[in-house]
Structure 1
Amino acid sequence: MKLKSLLIISLAIFTFLSWKFIDKADDIPKDLSNPHLEVSLRNIGHQVLLSAGDSSTRVLPIKKLDDHTFLIQFEKQFALEPDTLAGIVQINMSEEHFAQGYIVNVLSCFTKEVVYAFEIFEDKEQNLVPCLGRPLPKECYDIKITFPSKKITLVNYMPLMVSFMALAFSFFLLIKKEKKTEAVAISNEETSIGVILGQLEFFHGKQILKSGNETISLTAKENQVLKILASSPNETLSREQLQKEVWEDEGVLVGRSLDVFISKLRKKLEADPNLKIVNVHGKGYKLEI
């Protein structure tokens, strides 16, 4: 697969997963302060009283205990059917788009103990609705409904992290390939284009000198030394600079090695009497053209 295609695919995956993640985040109940929710909660209380045969007593004002918890209170005692309560709450919450999940606790007004509870999940298969068919006696009850806040954890971010890493790796491969292509292009250019040195032509990439139809081969070190000298014609380069650039990468510096290669290069440059490597006493060498 070409790297550009891989990059496009990774970007598409990253965009898709980001959208899905944001879409999931939108499922978190955000309108719990909506006044219409209070109407729905009062309607739950109203239908519970009607199911108990009470059509006259009041549902007391809805209490908001915190940002996610609401309390439905009643004026008088009543008997409670768990099956009926569960059905009433689920219908009202489904209509108000609060099916993401909630917990219902029925509390005794006197002891504040939980006498009945059930939990509804976004995944209906996980719903916990126990004790159906077990009616509660006539008593004073409060109904507390809690909408748990969805906590964003590292696991939630995992799809984004994986897709981002894939995207970053694709960029890395693409940049690496471009650098390699650029290096090859430069190498090919150096191989095909020579540098004019007087009457000679120097091909660093091929390690040769040309004098007309004559080809003069250079060793690797001769080639390196001549390249450095040719990069600054008619300028004196110190021995230390030449030795460092040619030999230091190998971790070895041989005192007289430079002189040996300069001597060999001089012989190979004799094809052009006007091209000389001059020893500048106490300073270094320069290529005179």
Structure 2
Amino acid sequence: MKFAQTPLSRILIGSLALLLVTVLFVRFIQSTSGQDEAQSNDSRQYRARKINLALRRTAHHLLRLAGDSTSRIPAVEQPNPHTFRVSFSRSFNYDSLPALLQASLQIHAVAGPYDVAVLDCARGKLQLGYSHRDLMSSGPVPCTGRSMTAGCYVLQVTFEPLAPASPPSMRWPLIALAGLLTGVAFIMWRRSAQTSEPEVQPVSSMDSAIRFGQSQLDVASQRLMSGSSLHNLTYRETKLLRLLVSHPNELLERNQILKLVWEDEGITVGRSVDVFISRLRKLLQNDPTIRIAAVHGVGYRLEVLSEANPK
């Protein structure tokens, strides 16, 4: 006996087929979830070891700046998955901390926002501190220029948690219902004459960058697009270029540049400005509308030229 295929029967057959595929996919996800969890744990442990090394490097250089090259650096403590602490038996140069810590994290390839707090050992009270976001601003890092009394201190760095990849809920009734509804939608879509929706083009991360001339500066990712060339910048190059492009066609005095760009190091060297300006000129050489002009004995000016009058 031959059964006629009605629209309802086709819908049911399609729904059952898709439900079977869904069940098989769920079984596959369950078989691989344990492996994914193990890999995630390994990744967290690896990141913690890199942060440990970065904090020990920072502590070493802070002690060296304080004239201590022999004391043992205590082990880095981790009271929770996102917080790391290292103790100092003496005060240290807080003004040098932001640049040293940022450099250490970059050397060990540790990325992500973080907060820094300096606590006293006796009561655990906050004495000084700043946020990673303060480094990207044009102003000075909070609490710099303040003296630290002699005593024991704890340097605490807290990172924002990394967003975990959450697997979809594995509720069997919802999966069965989703398979049935998907089958119905699929059959109806095949029977209709609807056109597919246009593909949405991804938005480039450089769309949010600072634009000047034919160049773009992405401060968050420390990247410069000059003409058709993409360059990765250092933290200090990014900070200097951001200062210049924020004041186009304005003369910035050398002392002003040193204060705004190098003040967080505690010690400034006038020659640093010339070296970094030379680097930026090379990186911007593919943009004919941009020129960094030097005013002898005064400072520098980023000039944005018109298309009709390139340099």
Q: Under a length normalisation based on structure 1, what TM-score does the superposition of the two structures give?
A: 0.40
| TM-score under structure 2 length normalisation | 0.37
Larger gyration radius, structure 1 or structure 2:
1
Larger relative CO (CA 8 A, sep 6+): 1 or 2? 2
